[in-house]
Amino acid sequence: MLLEKLTSIHEKFVDTERQLADPANAPDQKKMTLLARQRRQLLPIEAAFHKYKKLTDDLAGAREVLKDTRDPEMREMAEAEMRSLEEEFAKYDEEVKYLLVPQDPDDSRNCIIEIRAGTGGDEAALFAGDLYRMYMRYAERQGWKMETIDFNETGLKGFREVSFSLEGEDVYAKMKWEGGVHRVQRVPATETQGRIHTSAASVAVLPEVEDVEIDINPNDLRIDIFRSGGKGGQNVNKVETAVRITHLPTGIVASCQEERSQLKNRNKAMKVLRSRMYEKAKEEADAKYSAERKSMVGSGDRSEKIRTYNFPQDRVTDHRIGLTLHNLPAIMDGELDDLIEQLRIADRAKRLAAAG
């Protein structure tokens, strides 16, 4: 049964490569982008197909040899080889089942992260800044490219809100687990009595889309130019380089003030706008996804938490899977691999169970 599924996907992979190589498809940028993404998604299963087929053939061959062999020594060798192949086959069979579980079609995309301070005043803004730096270090460890898009700074290195893009391999597949409300318990830098405060910040993770995937009529856009209000030197206070783009039919707004160039800010803002419009289209097409998306962002209230960072107890707890780790300084320094991998494993197990 698994070999039949793998064979069907192999045929789809071959057809995808054929279409990518067909000169007639080259002028259709949208089709080529979708085909290239489809190929990347099918590539691991294509490799699994060849390995699984070889194991199946080797096992069948070993059984045939065992059936036809009368020599005791040869039978012993054939039996040992068959046991080894059966063990390898059983192990790989489970791996292939996980591979065949329907995947999130956005996993191979880059993404845009939006962090907003929630309950907790200045301490929430400080925590939003800490999350921003945590993801920055995680991106460095992954070898991803990170670009800040927009921000609203407070004192003491805090942010009311900050957004940035991440570009690299499996970006959305890993970062999507960070979407939701993050709660922190600690003694703030602004606290004079040594009391522990509880604050929160919300994180939204948006899959990044190509301009060929979302059709935007330029006449539907209002573009406002203004002076940047954050870091960047004297230039930001003298020259109007920041850009705010509003999609009039939907009311969706995106802005960028990070770059000194108005054109670069406009391009970044358009990237955010496309991602937000893509997200909105997904929500409208799938009510269930819409409910999940709203629960991801929430209101920033402490009660909607997905994860708690408890500094006095050196404890990080992910409430979705009941996982608690006691290495908070390392996690805040971007060592998120263990957390994210445990979330991915739990999700795969859930998907496998649902697939029967």
| CA-based end-to-end distance of the chain | 13
Does the pLDDT value for residue 103 go beyond 60?
Answer: yes
Q: What is the three-state SS of 21-38?
A: HCHHHCCCHHHHHHHHHH
Contact 243, 265 (CB under 8 A): yes
Does the pLDDT value for residue 13 go beyond 80?
Answer: yes
* Mean pLDDT, rounded, for 52-57: 90
Q: Output the pTM of the full model.
A: 0.72
Same structural domain, 120 and 203: yes
155 or 279, higher pLDDT = 279
Same structural domain, 89 and 173: no
Does the pLDDT value for residue 298 go beyond 70?
Answer: no
Task: Give, to the nearest 10 degrees, the angle between helix 262-285 and helix 287-297.
Answer: 130
pLDDT confidence of 355, banded at 50, 70, 90?
Answer: low
323 residue type, one letter: L
Judge whether 105 lies within some domain: no
Among 76, 100, 124, identify where a domain stops.
Answer: 100
Q: What is the mean pLDDT of the chain?
A: 85
Task: Give, to the nearest 10 degrees, the angle between helix 72-100 and helix 337-354.
Answer: 100
Does the pLDDT value for residue 281 go beyond 70?
Answer: yes
Contact 170, 107 (CB under 8 A): yes
DSSP structural state of residue 170: T
pLDDT confidence of 356, banded at 50, 70, 90?
Answer: low
Same structural domain, 61 and 134: no
pLDDT confidence of 287, banded at 50, 70, 90?
Answer: low
Query: How far apart (Å, rounded) are the C-alpha atoms in residues 146 and 162?
Result: 13
Judge whether 106 lies within some domain: no
Same structural domain, 48 and 193: no
Structure-token pair, residue 95: 């791996």
Does the pLDDT value for residue 145 go beyond 50?
Answer: yes
Among 266, 285, 304, identify where a domain stops.
Answer: 285
Same structural domain, 194 and 314: yes
Does the pLDDT value for residue 149 go beyond 70?
Answer: yes
Judge whether 321 lies within some domain: yes
Q: Reduce the DSSP state of residue 2 to 3 states and report it.
A: helix
Same structural domain, 193 and 304: yes
* Mean pLDDT, rounded, for 208-221: 82
Task: Provide the domain limits for residue 230.
Answer: 218-285
Same structural domain, 273 and 303: no
Judge whether 170 lies within some domain: yes
Judge whether 94 lies within some domain: yes
| Residue closest to 339 by CA, chosen among 321, 313, 314 | 321
DSSP structural state of residue 88: H
Does the pLDDT value for residue 327 go beyond 60?
Answer: yes
| Residue 70: other Cβ atoms inside 10 A | 6
Q: Which residues, 6+ apart, have CB-to-CB distance to 99 below 8 Å?
A: 44, 45, 48
Same structural domain, 141 and 171: yes
Instruction: Return the CATH number at 10.
Output: 1.20.58
Same structural domain, 120 and 205: yes
Instruction: Return the CATH number at 226.
Output: 3.30.160.20
Same structural domain, 271 and 306: no
Q: What is the pLDDT of residue 297?
A: 44
Same structural domain, 83 and 127: no
Same structural domain, 257 and 338: no
Q: How many independent structural domains does the chain possess?
A: 3
Half-sphere exposure of 345 (CA within 13 A, CB side): 8
Q: What is the pLDDT of residue 190?
A: 67
pLDDT confidence of 70, banded at 50, 70, 90?
Answer: confident
Instruction: Return the CATH number at 173.
Output: 3.30.70.1660
Q: What is the pLDDT of residue 211?
A: 67
Query: How far apart (Å, rounded) are the C-alpha atoms in residues 18 and 7?
Result: 16
